């Protein structure tokens, strides 16, 4: 391993301390920029107030709209309940009625087939 000369190490340590000790100087802003910034701030504050006022107005209108929709929803629910109360429930629903008709037709066709068969108990051979 190679050793680093002591003089080089001492020079590097002094150089780093000098670099850390440097001060930065800030230039003061000219007064014209400050007045321009104040004008911008005032303009932005006015725009902020206007947008806040618009937001409040929209919230008020949205609240009124929500209230009106809730009332209409309640009215429609009451109408639905009244119309459901007026409709008298039938014995069977439409699907159940068609199912019962299909079952009846199949029973009638089986009975009709048994009557046409008659007294014969033998099977007919349809294919000769």
Domain range summary for the chain, segments of one domain joined by +: 32-85
- Cβ atoms of 92 and 100 closer than 8 Å: yes
Q: Cα–Cα distances in Å, from 58 out to 30, 62, 85? A: 42, 6, 40
Residue 93 has pLDDT above 60, yes or no: yes
| Average pLDDT of span 28-52 | 84
At residue 127, φ and ψ (nearest 5 deg) are: -100, 120
Residue 26: its pLDDT value, please? 67
Which residues have CB under 8 Å from 100's CB, separation 6+? 92
For range 105-112, the mean pLDDT: 94
Calpha distance 16→92 (Å, rounded): 97
User: How confident is the model at residue 127, as a pLDDT?
Assistant: 67
Better pLDDT: 27 or 59: 59
For residue 115, name the pLDDT band (cuts at 50, 70, 90). confident
């Amino acid at each position: 391993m190679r050793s680093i000369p002591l003089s080089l190490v001492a020079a590097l340590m002094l150089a780093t301390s000098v670099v850390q000790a440097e001060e930065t100087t800030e230039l003061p802003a000219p007064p014209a920029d400050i007045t321009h910034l104040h004008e911008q701030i005032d303009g932005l504050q006015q725009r902020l107030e206007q947008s806040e006022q618009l937001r409040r107005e929209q919230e008020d209108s949205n609240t009124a709209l929500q209230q009106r929709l809730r009332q209409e929803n309640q009215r429609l629910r009451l109408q639905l309940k009244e119309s459901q109360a007026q409709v008298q429930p039938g014995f069977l629903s439409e699907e159940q009625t068609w199912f019962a008709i299909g079952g009846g037709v199949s029973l009638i066709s089986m009975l009709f087939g048994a009557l046409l068969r008659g007294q014969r108990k033998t099977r007919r051979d349809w294919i000769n």
